[in-house]
Amino acid sequence: MSEKDHPLFSDISSDIFAFSFDGLSSPLIDLKFRTGPQKGDHTLGWGLAWYPADNKAAMVAKDPAAKDTVSLKGAMSDWEGFRSTVFFCKVRGAATGYTHLETQPFTRSFAGQDWVFMHNGNLDKEAIKGLHHNKSIFLEPLGRTDSELALVFLLGKIEDYGARTLAAIDHSVLLSWFLQLDDLGSADMAISDGVTVAVFYGSKSQSSLYYSRIKPPHATEGFQSDAASFALNNPRDTFRTAVVFASSPFASGNWTPMQGGQLIIARRGAVIWTNKKEAPSKLPVPPQQPDRPSALSSPILQGGPLEKITERNALFASVQAQSQQASIVAKLASMSHVQSNVINARSVTHAPDGSPLTYRLYDVVHSTEYTYEKAVEHSTHTFRLLPVEDQLQEVIHSTLTISAEGEDVRFEDVFGNQNIHYSIIKPYKQLTVSCRSLVKIFGQAPDDYGPAQRQARFPISWMPWQLQVMEPYLLLLEMPETQIAELLVYARAFSERNAGHVMDTLNDINLTIYRDYQYVPGSTSFSTTPFDVYANRKGVCQDFANLFITLARLLGIPARYRMGYIFTGANYENKIQSDASHAWAEVYIPYIGWRGFDPTNGCLVSQDHVRVACGRNYLDATPTSGTIYRGGGKEELRVQVTMNEVYL
C-alpha cells in the first residue's frame, strides 16, 4: 500500500533529506514533525540511514510510531559509529499499522554492499510490477509499498546492466530508468551505494525538492527550515563540504530548486553530473552569520618522571601507586572534562581490557669468530650489536668485547642504529667479537585502528613531507619489470581478498609466507632477490623479510628490514633461529608507527623479539661487516647466539 492509497494520507506530510559529504562527518540533524488537524489515530515516524566509517554495510534507525524526536536524537548521539559520508533521512506522518517494513529509508544488500533508497510520492504499483522483469528471488520486496517496488526495479536494472556500483552506470542510462518510473506517478527519489548519491525529482511531483552545496566556514547556528534543522558543529567537521538535498529550503544558504525530470549525481561532496542546467534561484538568501570563536580549552595533565629504582619490587610498587594515582586523576578528569593520558609506555601496567602488561628480561650473547689462513695485517669493521633503547625496550647494560687491539669510533647512523667503526692496527689470525646485553621488553596494549587518521583501508594517503622521509622505504630493489609486475599481481591479491583492509592484508601476507614457503638454510645467498624467493618458495629469514618488504612497498606501505634476536622458548611450531641473529620486516602505519611482522614464524613482533639494527635492506642492518686490506686468505666464520629469559 502506498502512502496516498492509505485512507489517512491526506493528513500526512512527508520530507526527505540526503547528504553527500567529502569526508566522514557527523551532522547534528533534528526533524520537525508538522502539526495540524488530524483525522483518526495518527502517529509520527522517521527513518535515518548512514554508512558508519564508510563501510559497505549501512546502519538504519527507524521509528514508525514516534511521537517526537527523542528517539532520533538518541540514534544520533555523539558516538564514533555516527560518522559517514552519506546520510539519508525521511520523516512523514504514519497511520496505525505501519511497521519498519513500510518505514523509509529502505535498505537492500546487493553486489557486495548495502543500497539505501528513499521515495516521496505515489506510483502505480501494478504498472511497476509490469516493468520489473528481473524475477530474482533476491529482489523481492519485503513490505507492501510502491516505494520498495521502485527500489527492487532499479536494483534489477543495475543487475541486468552488469554493474556493481552507481559509478559504473552510464549517467544517461540511469536517468532513463528513473524516467520510466516517472511515467507512473510522482517520483521524488534518492538512491546510494554508500559512495555515490543519485537524486531524481519527478516531473509530476506534488512537492518540492532543493539542493545546495554547503562549504566551510560553517555557521554555528546551522541551517533551519520548516521541516528540519542540521548543523556541522563537530570540531572534526570544521572543513567538511557537502551536497544537501531537502524537500524544503533552509533559511540560510543558497538553495536551488530542482527541475521536473532532473537527475543529480553527487559523490564526496560535489555534484558530478546533472541532465539539466541550473535554474537561477528566486529564494531570498540571508547573509551568513559569522562563526563564534571556540570556547573549548582542555588542558592535558602530564605526570613527572619516575625516579630510577633498582629493586624490582620497589619499582613495581611505585608503578602500581602511580597507576592508582592516574586512575584517581582520570576520574577527576572525567568529572571536570579534563583528559589525562599516561604517555610513558613503560609505566602502563594494564591494557584497556584489564589484562596485565609486564616486562620480560633477556640475557643475550652474540658471538662471532673469524679464523684466517694467513695473518690479517690491516682491516676495518663496523659493528651494529647494541639493542634499541626506546619506550618499549630498555637496555640494562651491554658490553662489547673484541679480541684484537684497535681504534674505535662510535656514532649513530642515518637509520638510528648505534655503530662502532673499528680499525685493527695489529696483525691477527683469529678475531672474536662478542656482545652481551641484558634487555627488558615491556608489554604493549593492542593497537586501536578505529580513528580514521590511522587509515585502516587501502589506499593509504601520505603528506608530501611524509613521502620524502619514507622514500627509502618505498623504493623497490631493482628487478626486471616483468618480475615486478608479477609481484604486484601477487601483492594485490592479498588486498583484494581482504577487501582492502590494511592490517588484514599484512597479516595475510605474513601467515602465507610462513605457511607456503619452506625454510631451507643455505638455499639462498646475498644476491637472491624477492622474486627468486617468490618463484622458488624457499629461503631463510632474511629472504622472507625481503619478500614481505617488497609486497608491502608495492601496496604503498613503507617497510624496512630489522635485525635482532628471537626467544624460541615460546610455543612456536617453527622453533628456528635460536643459534643466530634473526631478521623480520617492519611497516609504518599512519598514526600508529613502525610495527614488526615476522614471516619466518608467522607472528607479529612482540615480547619474544629483541630489536637491534634496521635499514632499507640487509646491508644497512648487518650486525658485523668488514674489509680486509692486506693478508687473510681463506676465512672461516662461526656465529653463535644464546638468548635466555631471566626471572627475578
Q: What pLDDT score was predicted for residue 569?
A: 74
Examine residue 140 and state whether it is found in any structural domain, yes or no: yes
CA–CA gap between residue 89 and residue 33 (Å, rounded): 13
Checking if the pLDDT of 139 tops 90, the result is no
* Residue 180 dihedral angles phi and psi, to the nearest 5°: -65, -40
Examine residue 286 and state whether it is found in any structural domain, yes or no: no
Torsion of CA 399, 404, 409, 412, to 10 degrees: -50
Span 146-175, average pLDDT: 92
CA–CA gap between residue 326 and residue 251 (Å, rounded): 49
pLDDT, tens digit, 9 for 90 and up, residues 454-505? 888 888 988 899 999 999 999 999 999 999 998 998 898 888 888 789 999 9
Checking if the pLDDT of 214 tops 90, the result is no
Q: What pLDDT score was predicted for residue 343?
A: 78
Q: What pLDDT score was predicted for residue 493?
A: 85
Q: What pLDDT score was predicted for residue 348?
A: 84
Question: Domain range for residue 263?
Answer: 9-274
Examine residue 610 and state whether it is found in any structural domain, yes or no: no
pLDDT-wise least confident of 119-128, 216-225, 439-448: 216-225
Mark whether 395 and 512 lie in a shared domain.
no
Among the three residues 274, 309, 327, which one is the final residue of a domain in this structure? Answer: 274
CATH (domain of 53): 3.60.20.10
Checking if the pLDDT of 200 tops 80, the result is yes
Q: What pLDDT score was predicted for residue 530?
A: 96
Per the rule left: phi > 0, alpha: psi between -120 and 50, beta: everything else, 608 is alpha
Cell (9 digits) for 466: 611524509
DSSP β-ladder status, 84-95 and 106-110: unpaired
Q: In which band, very low, low, confident or very high, does the pLDDT at 213 lie, cut at 50, 70 and 90?
A: confident
CATH (domain of 427): 2.60.40.2250
CA–CA gap between residue 454 and residue 590 (Å, rounded): 5
Q: Cα dihedral sign for 64, 69, 75, 80?
A: positive
Mark whether 109 and 250 lie in a shared domain.
yes
Examine residue 612 and state whether it is found in any structural domain, yes or no: no
Nearest CA among 496, 604, 478, 467 for reference residue 550: 478
Q: Cα dihedral sign for 527, 565, 616, 574?
A: positive
pLDDT, tens digit, 9 for 90 and up, residues 55-110? 899 999 887 766 666 656 666 655 556 889 999 998 864 445 566 677 889 999 99
pLDDT, tens digit, 9 for 90 and up, residues 230-282? 888 888 888 787 899 999 888 888 899 999 999 999 988 888 899 987 654 44
Span 141-150, average pLDDT: 82
Mark whether 479 and 372 lie in a shared domain.
no
Query: What integer best gives the mean pLDDT of the chain?
Result: 82
Mark whether 555 and 475 lie in a shared domain.
yes
Examine residue 285 and state whether it is found in any structural domain, yes or no: no
* Residue 551 dihedral angles phi and psi, to the nearest 5°: -65, -40
Mark whether 482 and 508 lie in a shared domain.
yes
400 Cβ contact list (under 8 Å, min separation 6): 383, 385, 386, 420, 433, 434, 435
Mark whether 303 and 179 lie in a shared domain.
no
Into how many domains does the chain fold? 4
Where b means 16+ CB within 10 Å and e means fewer, 323-336 reads: eeebeeebeebeee
306 vs 573, residue with greater confidence: 573
Q: Helices 541-554 and 481-497 sit at what angle, rounded to 10 degrees? A: 80
Mark whether 426 and 538 lie in a shared domain.
no
Mark whether 393 and 302 lie in a shared domain.
no
Examine residue 93 and state whether it is found in any structural domain, yes or no: yes
- In percent, how much of the chain has pLDDT > 70? 80
Mark whether 301 and 397 lie in a shared domain.
no
pLDDT, tens digit, 9 for 90 and up, residues 100-137? 677 889 999 999 999 999 998 889 988 888 886 767 77
637 vs 133, residue with greater confidence: 637
628 vs 340, residue with greater confidence: 628
157, 168 in Cβ contact below 8 A?
no
Mark whether 264 and 308 lie in a shared domain.
no
Cell (9 digits) for 517: 614457503
CATH (domain of 575): 3.10.620.30
User: 446 preceded by cis ω (within 30°)?
Assistant: no
Examine residue 462 and state whether it is found in any structural domain, yes or no: no
Examine residue 89 and state whether it is found in any structural domain, yes or no: yes
pLDDT, tens digit, 9 for 90 and up, residues 14-64? 788 999 988 888 888 887 765 544 434 445 678 899 999 888 999 998 877
**Residue ranges of the alpha helices (H) in 363-446?**
none
Burial class (CB in 10 A: 0-12, 13-18, 19+), 31: buried
Checking if the pLDDT of 309 tops 50, the result is no
pLDDT, tens digit, 9 for 90 and up, residues 506-544? 998 999 999 889 999 999 998 899 999 998 999 999 999
Place of cell 558516538: 79
348, 445 in Cβ contact below 8 A?
yes
Mark whether 195 and 260 lie in a shared domain.
yes
Q: In which band, very low, low, confident or very high, does the pLDDT at 325 lie, cut at 50, 70 and 90?
A: low
Q: What pLDDT score was predicted for residue 97?
A: 54
Checking if the pLDDT of 320 tops 90, the result is no
DSSP β-ladder status, 106-110 and 113-120: antiparallel
Among the three residues 274, 305, 326, which one is the final residue of a domain in this structure? Answer: 274
pTM of the predicted structure, to 2 decimals:
0.59
Checking if the pLDDT of 198 tops 80, the result is yes
Mark whether 473 and 375 lie in a shared domain.
no
Q: What pLDDT score was predicted for residue 323?
A: 47
497, 528 in Cβ contact below 8 A?
no
Compute the C-alpha angle 558/563/565, nearest 5°. 130
User: 217 preceded by cis ω (within 30°)?
Assistant: yes
* Longest CA span, the chain: 109
